[in-house]
């Protein structure tokens, strides 16, 4: 065991040497949202929820760490999360990761790969989509809630005994308040990835009975308003450090980490001793940026009274201006005890003791500041136990009443006004799978507590909930409040020209080609029956027209019109066609002479092998062409890739003929061998060269109300 400096905050640590894990280049920690998303969510709001979680961590000020989403579609298609160089957020729907066997209580897991000095090499967020239902609107585990927790692990944080915090290790489908960070987590980023001076408090914890140090004791502070601010654990020598703090006056206390969070929720490198009583040490005043040593915190012997179990749901939400009812489990909760909270302006009413639980109401003044509060239970003999940060004061849910307009083009670009109540600065709007952040470019603007304005971005088509998420994580939702029309768009047409008499078959490629009301117009002229192939592809046979152009092609559906401007011409000449190639095979090395036969080949200017059948793009152009007559071309073959290839002929007008699978290229074997080649290696494992041994930590979020943890954190060395 190597001695390490006292570490601010509860962090993931190397199991052998105790080094805390960190990103060496925190200003750009890349993450990729896997394109499939959750198979429980069809409207794109799953990706919006993941982006909301990323934005929440990025919203912490005065820290250098930043999650940067890589939007490259090629990256988003990847599922090889175990490779270094990509940090994926993905839903494992069939236990392809192996981390979610049947019956697993793990809702999500974040494997973190790291080196012996604590540098993180890579980390990914995997959701247990096979065993659990995920949702963005209350039908399952809240994606944004779970994702925010897991991203905390990705950034290097371990679980916390601050039970109202995002890094609390349990969740159930009713919980959404982990969407927002506790001040504890904000302080953690400022302490670990510091961007300026912050204040800190240090000291140590000892037993009153014999003066021995307490390892793994939780030490926490509240601010002058009684809001829980930060918590950490003592090291094996009993020393603690609370970092990343603002200046101010704090009340400090020590508390055993017994329940609901215990040693079982932390990495193996921790020593957690709980044989002492929760003890309030006193007040400490910090100047901004100052470091204050409070000396020794003396704690008394263990007591029987105990508040909080992991079968409770934390945080306990208390709405400002309202009274809410709660139940907390524990031990020794007998009549004659007293319950109080760390902000005396709140009233606890109807407190009823049931030995193993206590029920009570919390009356919150209308103007109470949001944040977390401690509950303190005191037995008749004066023994106390503190439940750190278990209450969370939030504003009432915002309400979304109506949206104007309530429908629009899925291409976006139009202004939209949301009317309701309880809209606060920092709110986010989720609409059509897109997140709009208050005050951010391309975001939204909270112009009043009843009004939010935004300019719609391209959204997922169909009906969409309109959701306003408060900075506290609570939300207002207008179900199916907006409809995005699936306006078709046309991306390509092939061929680019056709004969004036008509009869040319065109392939149109695009999006949202619905059958209802489908029509295609060229230069404003309806082309008659359209062959619908898919929502991305249409065949249409031209009606013909006078040689002219370029002409605009329109695709009409019930949802609107998509156009491709100046995409097509009518020409005098007949369309060329290809009927055969002789010989039908040539070397992929190129340079062989072949003959193409067909009709109307007089004006051919290009011959392309292996062009795309739908767009005419790509492929390998022939280096030289000789027109032997209207029915015959002599062509020199290009260097190509071995395999079957289409044969495309194209005239100067853009008129084309294509013969599918009309030719094949045989493998080119250069004389003497050698040359460029690709070798596929089985069993490649991730691992940085010259980086030394790499470790894997798995941190998981367990289902609340389940005692059994199928897996805890494990560390696996790789070769
Ligand atoms: Zn966790």
CATH of the domain at 550: 2.60.40.10
Looking at residue 89, what is its pLDDT?
97
CA of 711 relative to ligand 1 center, distance in Å: 12
Tell me the C-alpha to C-alpha distance, in Å, between residue 501 and each of 178, 458, 575. Answer: 66, 39, 10
- 544 and 582 in a single domain? The answer is no
Decide: helix, strand or coil at residue 121. strand
CA of 150 relative to ligand 1 center, distance in Å: 6
Is residue 394 within 8 Å of 474, Cβ to Cβ? yes
Q: In this structure, is residue 75 part of a structural domain?
A: yes
Residue 450 burial (CB < 10 Å; 0-12/13-18/19+)?
middle
Sheet strand arrangement including 624-629: 577-582, 593-599, 632-636, 624-629
CA of 123 relative to ligand 1 center, distance in Å: 13
Q: In this structure, is residue 60 part of a structural domain?
A: yes
What tokens does 516 get?
């209802």
CA of 618 relative to ligand 1 center, distance in Å: 48
CA of 169 relative to ligand 1 center, distance in Å: 5
Looking at residue 8, what is its pLDDT?
76
Looking at residue 276, what is its pLDDT?
95
CA of 152 relative to ligand 1 center, distance in Å: 8
Looking at residue 274, what is its pLDDT?
94
CA of 372 relative to ligand 1 center, distance in Å: 20
Between CA 36 and CA 38 the distance in angstroms is 6
Which has the closest alpha carbon to 143: 214, 151, 5?
Answer: 151
CA of 90 relative to ligand 1 center, distance in Å: 16
Cis omega before residue 522 (within 30°)? no
- 536 and 627 in a single domain? The answer is no
CA of 173 relative to ligand 1 center, distance in Å: 15
Q: Tell which of 433, 458, 485 closes a domain.
A: 485
CA of 702 relative to ligand 1 center, distance in Å: 7
CA of 107 relative to ligand 1 center, distance in Å: 9
Relative orientation angle of helices 45-58 and 143-154, to the nearest 10 degrees: 40
Looking at residue 677, what is its pLDDT?
28
CA of 43 relative to ligand 1 center, distance in Å: 27
Is residue 217 within 8 Å of 203, Cβ to Cβ? no
Looking at residue 605, what is its pLDDT?
87
CA of 166 relative to ligand 1 center, distance in Å: 9
- 505 and 652 in a single domain? The answer is no
Q: What is the DSSP string of 554-586?
A: EEEETTEEEEEEEEEEEESSPPPEEEEEESSEE
Decide: helix, strand or coil at residue 335. coil
Between CA 61 and CA 45 the distance in angstroms is 26
For the chain, first and last CA: distance in Å? 22
Domain residues for 697?
Answer: 26-155+693-717
Between CA 676 and CA 696 the distance in angstroms is 36
Which has the closest alpha carbon to 646: 625, 619, 623?
Answer: 619
CA of 56 relative to ligand 1 center, distance in Å: 17
CA of 321 relative to ligand 1 center, distance in Å: 32
Q: In this structure, is residue 10 part of a structural domain?
A: no
- 654 and 707 in a single domain? The answer is no
Decide: helix, strand or coil at residue 184. helix
57-78: burial string, b at 16+ Cβ within 10 Å, e else: bbebebbbbbbebeeeeebbee
CA of 160 relative to ligand 1 center, distance in Å: 9
Is residue 120 within 8 Å of 192, Cβ to Cβ? no
CA of 712 relative to ligand 1 center, distance in Å: 10
Is residue 152 within 8 Å of 116, Cβ to Cβ? no
- 229 and 339 in a single domain? The answer is yes
- 326 and 304 in a single domain? The answer is yes
CA of 110 relative to ligand 1 center, distance in Å: 8
Is residue 484 within 8 Å of 410, Cβ to Cβ? yes
CA of 414 relative to ligand 1 center, distance in Å: 41
Q: In this structure, is residue 12 part of a structural domain?
A: no
Q: Tell which of 522, 539, 571 closes a domain.
A: 571
pLDDT along the chain (719 residues), means of 10: 63 86 95 95 91 96 96 94 90 91 86 90 93 90 95 94 94 90 96 92 96 96 97 95 96 94 84 94 96 96 93 94 96 96 96 97 95 96 95 96 92 94 94 90 95 92 91 93 88 90 91 87 91 87 88 88 88 92 87 91 88 79 88 86 84 89 75 30 30 60 42 29
CA of 392 relative to ligand 1 center, distance in Å: 20
Q: In this structure, is residue 531 part of a structural domain?
A: yes
The four Cα atoms 97, 101, 107, 112 give a dihedral, to 10 degrees, of -40
Between CA 232 and CA 7 the distance in angstroms is 9
Decide: helix, strand or coil at residue 385. strand
Between CA 573 and CA 649 the distance in angstroms is 14
CA of 397 relative to ligand 1 center, distance in Å: 27
CA of 22 relative to ligand 1 center, distance in Å: 16
141-154: burial string, b at 16+ Cβ within 10 Å, e else: bbbbbbbbbbbbbb
CA of 427 relative to ligand 1 center, distance in Å: 26
Is residue 515 within 8 Å of 535, Cβ to Cβ? no
What is the length of the chain? 719
CA of 699 relative to ligand 1 center, distance in Å: 5
Between CA 611 and CA 608 the distance in angstroms is 6
- 386 and 448 in a single domain? The answer is no
What's the number of domains the chain is made of? 5
Residue 5 burial (CB < 10 Å; 0-12/13-18/19+)?
exposed
- 451 and 383 in a single domain? The answer is no
CA of 23 relative to ligand 1 center, distance in Å: 18
Between CA 10 and CA 408 the distance in angstroms is 48
CA of 172 relative to ligand 1 center, distance in Å: 13
CA of 314 relative to ligand 1 center, distance in Å: 14
Sheet strand arrangement including 384-394: 316-319, 384-394, 371-378, 338-341
| Residue labelled with tokens 């021995």 | 212
- 226 and 346 in a single domain? The answer is yes
Looking at residue 665, what is its pLDDT?
80
| Residue labelled with tokens 């007559």 | 629
Sheet strand arrangement including 428-431: 407-409, 475-485, 462-469, 428-431, 434-437
- 433 and 480 in a single domain? The answer is yes
Tell me the C-alpha to C-alpha distance, in Å, between residue 698 and each of 84, 143, 156, 266, 313. Answer: 16, 19, 12, 11, 24
Q: In this structure, is residue 512 part of a structural domain?
A: yes
- 627 and 590 in a single domain? The answer is yes
Looking at residue 79, what is its pLDDT?
93
- 315 and 208 in a single domain? The answer is yes
């Amino acid at each position: 065991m190597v001695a390490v400096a006292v570490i601010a905050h509860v962090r993931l640590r190397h199991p052998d040497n105790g080094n805390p894990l960190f990103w060496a280049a925190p200003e750009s920690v890349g993450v990729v949202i896997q394109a499939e998303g959750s198979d429980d969510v069809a409207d794109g709001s799953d990706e919006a929820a993941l982006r909301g979680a990323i934005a929440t961590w990025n919203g912490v000020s005065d820290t250098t760490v930043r999650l940067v989403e890589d939007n490259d579609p090629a990256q988003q298609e990847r599922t090889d999360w175990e490779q270094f160089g990509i940090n994926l957020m993905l839903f494992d729907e069939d236990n392809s990761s192996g981390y979610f066997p049947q019956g697993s209580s793990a809702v999500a897991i974040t494997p973190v790969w790291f080196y012996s000095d604590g540098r993180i090499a890579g980390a990914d967020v995997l959701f247990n989509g096979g065993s659990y239902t995920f949702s963005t609107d209350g039908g399952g585990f809240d994606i944004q809630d779970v994702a925010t927790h897991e991203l905390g692990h990705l950034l290097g944080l371990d679980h916390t005994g601050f039970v109202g915090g995002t890094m609390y290790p349990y969740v159930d489908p009713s919980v959404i308040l982990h969407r927002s960070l506790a001040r504890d987590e904000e302080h953690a980023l400022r302490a670990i990835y510091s961007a300026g001076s912050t204040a800190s408090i240090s000291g140590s914890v000892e037993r009153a009975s014999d003066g021995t140090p307490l390892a793994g004791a939780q030490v926490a502070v509240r601010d002058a308003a009684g809001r829980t601010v930060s918590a950490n654990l003592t090291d094996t020598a009993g020393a603690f450090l609370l970092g990343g703090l603002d200046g101010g006056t704090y009340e400090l206390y020590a508390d055993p980490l017994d329940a609901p969070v215990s040693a079982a929720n932390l990495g193996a490198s921790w020593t957690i001793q709980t044989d002492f009583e929760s003890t309030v040490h006193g007040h400490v005043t910090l100047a901004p940026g100052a470091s204050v040593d409070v000396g020794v915190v003396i704690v008394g012997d263990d007591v029987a009274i105990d508040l909080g179990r992991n079968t409770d749901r934390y945080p306990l939400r208390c709405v400002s201006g309202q009274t809410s009812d709660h139940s907390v489990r524990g031990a020794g909760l007998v009549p004659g005890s007293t319950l109080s909270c760390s902000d005396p302006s709140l009233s606890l009413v109807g407190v009823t003791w049931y030995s193993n639980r206590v029920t009570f109401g919390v009356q919150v003044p209308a103007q109470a500041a949001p944040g977390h509060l401690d509950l303190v239970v005191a037995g008749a003999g004066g023994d106390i136990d503190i439940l750190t940060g278990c209450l969370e004061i939030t504003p009432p849910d915002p309400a979304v009443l109506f949206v104007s307009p309530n429908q629009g083009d899925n291409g976006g670009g139009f202004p939209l006004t949301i009317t309701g109540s309880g809209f606060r600065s920092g709110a986010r709007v989720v609409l059509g799978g897109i997140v709009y952040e208050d005050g951010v470019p391309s975001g939204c603007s909270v112009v009043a507590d009843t009004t939010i304005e935004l300019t719609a971005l391209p959204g997922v088509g169909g009906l969409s909930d309109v959701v306003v998420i408060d900075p506290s994580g609570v939300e207002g939702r207008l179900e199916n409040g907006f409809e995005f029309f699936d306006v078709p768009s046309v991306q390509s047409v092939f061929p680019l020209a056709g004969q004036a008499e008509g009869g040319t078959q065109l392939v149109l490629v695009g999006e949202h080609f619905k059958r209802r009301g489908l029509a295609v117009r060229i230069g404003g002229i309806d082309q008659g029956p359209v062959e619908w192939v898919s929502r991305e592809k249409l065949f249409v046979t031209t009606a013909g027209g006078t040689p002219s152009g370029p002409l605009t092609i329109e695709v009409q559906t019930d949802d609107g019109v998509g156009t491709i401007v100046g995409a097509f011409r009518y020409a005098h000449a007949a369309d060329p066609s290809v009927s055969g190639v002789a010989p039908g095979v040539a070397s992929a090395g190129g340079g062989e002479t072949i003959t193409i036969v067909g009709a109307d080949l007089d004006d051919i200017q290009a011959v392309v092998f292996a062009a795309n059948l739908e767009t005419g793009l790509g492929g390998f152009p022939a280096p030289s062409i000789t027109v032997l007559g209207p029915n015959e071309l002599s062509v020199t073959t290009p260097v190509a890739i071995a395999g079957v290839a289409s044969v495309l002929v194209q005239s100067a007008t853009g008129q084309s003929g294509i013969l599918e699978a009309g030719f094949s290229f045989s493998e080119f074997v250069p004389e003497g061998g050698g040359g460029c080649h690709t070798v596929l290696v089985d069993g490649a494992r991730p691992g940085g060269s010259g980086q030394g041994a790499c470790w894997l930590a798995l941190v998981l979020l367990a289902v609340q109300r389940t005692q059994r943890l199928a897996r805890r954190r494990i560390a696996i060395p790789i070769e």
